[in-house]
Amino acid sequence: MSIPTLSTTEITNITQTSANSGGSITSDGGSDVTARGVCWSTNQTPTISDNITTDGTGVGMFSSILTDLSPNTTYYVRAYATNSKGTGYGNTLTFTTQEQDENSFTDPRDGNVYKFVTIGEQIWMAENLKYLPNVVGPETWSETEPYYYVYDYEGTDVTAAKVTANYNTYGVLYNWIAAVDGTTGSETNPSGIQGICPAGWHLPSDAEWTQLIDYLGGDWIAGDKLKEAGTTHWESPNEGATNESGFTALPGGYYVNGFGAIGRFGNWWSATEDPTTNSAWYRDMRCFESSVYRSNVDRSWGMSVRCIKD
């Protein structure tokens, strides 16, 4: 019997406060692997006495997310696996986190870093919100309970959801009660509803969305000024999109009895209800239109969130 044999997975998706890694356990040493993950430190030989992830049991490959890192800092990482004989380690890898951008901030709840942009008299997040306290599969929906979705992810493991490309590009889809964090809606400007947003930010009301769109010339042309240019994320044609505002609207799709329209539609909640129809107002943009559309839908839909600064 011996300690497990393993290697450390390449480090990817390095941000100011997070990174992805993992490991591959090729031998359990003759005894079941009861704990595995990665450990990291600013010292060159990290151990399980330092920062660790816990990523299941057994042999094979696993993925890990390193969080709560400091910007512009060099870290050393290696995978670990523990059996009854002791703890084995993989090879040591090193990386340096990105520098803090003056036009970005860190969400202290999970370490995600967001760019922001000033448009007129408002300061908007320039990325979709990624805060994910839990995740549900596509067969689950509610108007009254908060639900959180990651496009095309069908499990309930937050760690696994966070390593998907859709999470990292498009963020989380929230039903309306999750977006407002269980509070009642607001029609005011500003909304006064923090909702699911980080401290110091809030969920924009319908009136705040209107202020943004009016500043950019109105419903018929504002979409081109808000959407990311090109067809890296938006499907063709996306003609006319310039992103001159810096808002960088992305087509994260939606959830309604299943996932749909990623690449074609971007949909964002407001904090404002429509009490006559038991629904809530939102804005959407499309790959084949220059416009921004205002409509109301059932509050069980899953949509993206953009926060606005208090």
* CATH number of the structural domain spanning residue 33: 2.60.40.10
77: containing domain: 5-96
Same domain? 164 vs 196: yes
Which pLDDT belongs to residue 32?
Answer: 97
Confidence of residue 99 (pLDDT cuts 50, 70, 90): confident
Start-to-end CA distance of the chain, whole Å, equals 59
Number of domains in the chain: 2
Q: Mean pLDDT over residues 70-83, rounded?
A: 96
Same domain? 170 vs 279: yes
Confidence of residue 93 (pLDDT cuts 50, 70, 90): very high
Same domain? 111 vs 92: no
Same domain? 235 vs 293: yes
Contact by Cβ (8 Å): 192, 186 = yes
Lowest mean pLDDT among 96-110, 158-172, 173-187: 96-110
Which pLDDT belongs to residue 145?
Answer: 95
**Cβ-proximal residues to 263 (8 Å cutoff; 6+ apart), any chain:** 233, 234, 235, 251, 253, 287
Same domain? 186 vs 304: yes
Which pLDDT belongs to residue 200?
Answer: 96
Give per-residue pLDDT as tens, 272-307.
Answer: 999 888 899 999 999 999 999 999 999 999 999 999
Which pLDDT belongs to residue 100?
Answer: 75
Which pLDDT belongs to residue 163?
Answer: 86
Q: Is 97 helix (H, G, I), strand (E, B) or coil?
A: coil
pTM over 0.95: no
Which pLDDT belongs to residue 278?
Answer: 84
Over 90: is that where the pLDDT of 71 sits? no
Q: Mean pLDDT over residues 238-248, rounded?
A: 96
Same domain? 300 vs 167: yes
Q: Which of 34, 62, 96 is the last residue of a domain?
A: 96
Contact by Cβ (8 Å): 262, 151 = yes
Same domain? 172 vs 303: yes
Q: Mean pLDDT over residues 91-117, rounded?
A: 90
What DSSP designation does 263 have? T
Q: Mean pLDDT over residues 44-57, rounded?
A: 97
Same domain? 207 vs 304: yes
Say what percent of the chain tops pLDDT 90.
86
Return d(Cα 267, Cα 280) in angstroms, integer: 12
Which pLDDT belongs to residue 197?
Answer: 98
Which pLDDT belongs to residue 16?
Answer: 82
Same domain? 120 vs 232: yes
Q: Mean pLDDT over residues 148-152, rounded?
A: 97
Same domain? 77 vs 118: no
Q: Mean pLDDT over residues 240-251, rounded?
A: 97
Same domain? 151 vs 280: yes
Which pLDDT belongs to residue 74?
Answer: 98
Q: Which of 96, 117, 150 is the last residue of a domain?
A: 96
Same domain? 50 vs 147: no
Which pLDDT belongs to residue 282?
Answer: 98
Q: Which of 65, 96, 127 is the last residue of a domain?
A: 96
Q: Mean pLDDT over residues 83-110, rounded?
A: 92
